[in-house]
Amino acid sequence: MTRHPTVETYPIEDGQLTVGGIPVDRLAQRVGGTPFFAYDRNLITKRVELLRAELPTDVQLSYAVKANPMPAVVQHLAGLVDSLDVASAGELRTALDSGTSPQRVSFAGPGKRVEELTQAVAAGVTVEMESETEAERLAEVGQRLGIRPRVAVRVNPDFQVKGSGMRMGGGAQQFGVDAERVPALLKEVAATDLDFLGFHVFAGSQNLNADILCTAHRQTAELVTRLVNEAGDAATPVRYLNLGGGFGIPYFERDRPLDLPAIGANLEAVLAELVRPAFPDARVVLELGRFLVGEAGVYVTRIIDRKQSRGETFLVVDGGLHHQLAASGNFGQVIRKNYPVAIGNLMDREPTETASVVGCLCTPLDLLANKTAFPQAAIGDLVVVFQAGAYGLTASPTAFLGHPPPIEVLV
Ligand SMILES: *Cc1c(COP(=O)(O)O)cnc(C)c1O
């Protein structure tokens, strides 16, 4: 078993890992089979509480739905956070179904089609403009519908946020409008019938370095101040300032959890020095996906074969990369490393052998744990992959090889 601090968030009872208080073998019976994803609503709630305790009280929390769009998860989070961020018309529907007020929904992402923009404007959500073309389209849509679209501009900053698992800002990007072009865009926007609310800067995902995130928050506040000075009346009053997110979670042996108190203290200072004096009316938002749900989910598979091959042991499970691509190392990792994995019904046994957990797909990429120490596991035992609550099922090629999709439950 890969020992990992997060294992402690799922208590062990009679050798069984429990999720939401339910032993994993009982949960498998309740679900009706394997493989499945289980998300723990209490762990999600605790994450929000942790953030509320560590961040300034006037920083609002937005949930980035793409991290885990399961409707029950979105519904649960809708009651806990201040707003939802969506990245497609499909996610928009899920967000609105949760009862969240359209005024508390934002829509980001490149390449929004006119149909999607129409849906967003008709719903009354805030559209985060990713290009000049999108601004023109929104003005046309607004005119056609007789509605003044609520818009913000996503800025591609003139700085880079190092240390992110996926960089989404700085340099040349398909995301946002380059900072140096934003003042001119805002002057054009002011001449059309768009209701300009403010700014959004999101520069990267999966960052575990608090110093880097603190610098990014300060640089973002400075950048927006500069843009507002240049754009003048076209940008004021700023009613919305989305500082992005990118808070990471530990996946690998040497990863350490993010230092949230440091981020909270820095945000307090940035707000006091830069944001509040310049933009007293701005709703300041942090937009988080992975950090809210990533550690709150597990992916559970069953061993269907146990093979020896030339001195190595393979545990073949009924799931694989078609459900949990990230754990196979094929979703944005440069060097493949093991996600934390355990035999969920043998949690009280010491590791006695080294085995690889492979999925049931006919490709060598389908590797869930490479040469890992486990207790002796048999056919029928349950392999649990941790850190599966974000970018799991919906970030995986479900159709690949034609196996059935897994069940998802929120417990
Ligand atoms: C994906 C995304 C997020 C969420 O990122 P996490 O790393 O999961 O917190 C937030 N904002 C935008 C615009 C995104 O595209």
For the chain, 411 residues long, give each residue's pLDDT as a single digit of tens.
Answer: 444 444 568 999 999 999 999 999 999 999 999 999 999 999 999 999 999 999 999 999 999 999 999 999 999 999 999 999 999 999 999 999 999 999 999 999 999 999 999 999 999 999 999 999 999 999 999 999 999 999 999 999 998 777 777 777 778 889 999 999 999 999 999 999 999 999 999 878 899 999 999 999 999 999 999 999 999 999 999 999 999 999 999 999 899 999 999 999 999 999 999 999 999 999 999 999 999 999 999 999 999 999 999 999 999 999 999 999 999 999 988 889 999 999 999 999 999 999 999 999 999 999 999 999 999 999 999 999 999 999 999 999 999 999 999 999 999
Distance 89 CA to ligand 1 centre (A): 16
- CA gyration radius for the chain? 23
The residue to mutate among 44, 126, 202, having the most atoms of ligand 1 within 8 angstroms of its beta carbon, is 202
- Contact between 406 and 37 under an 8 Å Cβ cutoff? The reply is yes
Instruction: For residue 245, give the ligand 1 atom closest to its CA.
Output: 9
Task: State the Cα angle at 186 between 239 and 281, rounded to 5°.
Answer: 10
Distance 21 CA to ligand 1 centre (A): 30
β 105-107/83-86 pair status: parallel
Residues with CB under 6 A from ligand 1: 64, 66-67, 85, 87, 108, 202, 205-206, 245-246, 287-291, 390
Distance 373 CA to ligand 1 centre (A): 34
The three-state secondary structure class of 72 is helix
- Contact between 296 and 389 under an 8 Å Cβ cutoff? The reply is yes
Instruction: For residue 62, give the ligand 1 atom closest to its CA.
Output: 10
Distance 298 CA to ligand 1 centre (A): 20
Partners of 241 in beta bridges:
199, 284
> Which runs of consecutive H residues, i.e. helices, occur in 282-327?
290-293
Q: Is the dihedral of CA 326, 330, 332, 334 positive or negative?
A: positive
